[in-house]
């Protein structure tokens, strides 16, 4: 069973002005589609991956070739990314247990600042993350390329609660080289209800 490109959960222009329609079209229809197709090539070439979920594949990524690592990461990361952003009716604010964890971290302003610093400081392409584990504590991390915190050899392992794509293809059409400006603006389109659901599922 091949992996399929998941549809965007909103219209291409639903995140404007933070992320414009043209960026979303290329990012989903070209970039995410390419990661999906290449992941399927890698899975088809390796019988031991047959029937495995993407999370199972990421959990054994250290034993797999770069084709599966880069495109399996790209496949999962973008599916996650679309879902933790929302159209104007699906944004809200932190609530419930996630809001308490953010307070314990030092507050939302500190979380944003640390996350934006990680994202701006990631040399080259990569991702910034907010992760947690069964302790419920929040941690900010970054990964290079299409790596993520679910990989068995990740430096900072955990369950992603939020993540932002800092590859130039995610922001260059609007923000050009201003990655910090993109990181700052991105918080306007976070789907806090979805982040809260993922937090609740992670901490049990």
- CB of 173 vs Mn ion, minimal distance in Å: 13
The sheet with strand 139-144 has its strands ordered as 139-144, 126-132, 159-165
Phi, psi (rounded to 5 degrees) for 153? -105, 20
Instruction: Note the residues at the interface with Mn ion (CB under 5 A).
Output: 165, 167
Phi, psi (rounded to 5 degrees) for 81? -60, -45
- CB of 155 vs Mn ion, minimal distance in Å: 21
Q: Which is nearer to Mn ion, 105 or 172 (CB)?
A: 172
Q: Which is nearer to Mn ion, 75 or 199 (CB)?
A: 75
Q: Which is nearer to Mn ion, 5 or 108 (CB)?
A: 5
Closest-approach residue to Mn ion (CB): 165
Distances 49 to 33, 34, 79, 124, 157 between C-alpha atoms, Å: 20, 19, 20, 30, 22
Q: Which is nearer to Mn ion, 167 or 199 (CB)?
A: 167
Question: Is 195 within 8 Å of 161 (Cβ atoms)?
Answer: yes
- CB of 75 vs Mn ion, minimal distance in Å: 11
Distance CA 193, CA 204 (A): 16
- CB of 27 vs Mn ion, minimal distance in Å: 6
149: DSSP letter: T
- CB of 127 vs Mn ion, minimal distance in Å: 9
Q: Which is nearer to Mn ion, 105 or 174 (CB)?
A: 174
Question: Is 105 within 8 Å of 93 (Cβ atoms)?
Answer: no
């Amino acid at each position: 069973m091949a992996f399929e490109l998941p549809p965007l959960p909103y219209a291409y222009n639903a995140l404007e002005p933070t992320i414009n329609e043209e960026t979303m079209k290329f990012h989903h229809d070209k970039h995410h589609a390419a990661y999906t197709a290449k992941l399927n090539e890698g899975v088809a070439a390796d019988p031991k991956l047959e029937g495995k979920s993407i999370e199972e594949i990421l959990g054994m990524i250290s034993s797999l070739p770069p084709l599966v690592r880069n495109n399996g990461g790209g496949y999962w990361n973008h599916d996650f990314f679309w879902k933790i952003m929302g159209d104007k009716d699906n944004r809200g604010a932190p609530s419930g247990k996630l809001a308490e964890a953010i307070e314990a971290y030092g507050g939302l302003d500190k979380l944003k600042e640390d996350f934006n610093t990680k994202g701006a400081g990631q040399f080259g392409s990569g991702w910034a993350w907010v992760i947690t584990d069964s302790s419920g504590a929040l941690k900010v991390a970054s990964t290079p390329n299409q790596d993520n915190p679910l990989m068995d050899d990740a430096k900072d392992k955990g369950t992603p609660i939020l993540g932002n794509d800092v590859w130039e293809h995610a922001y260059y059409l609007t923000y050009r080289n201003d990655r910090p400006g993109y990181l700052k603006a991105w918080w306007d389109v976070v789907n806090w209800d979805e982040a809260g659901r993922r937090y609740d599922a992670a901490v049990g």
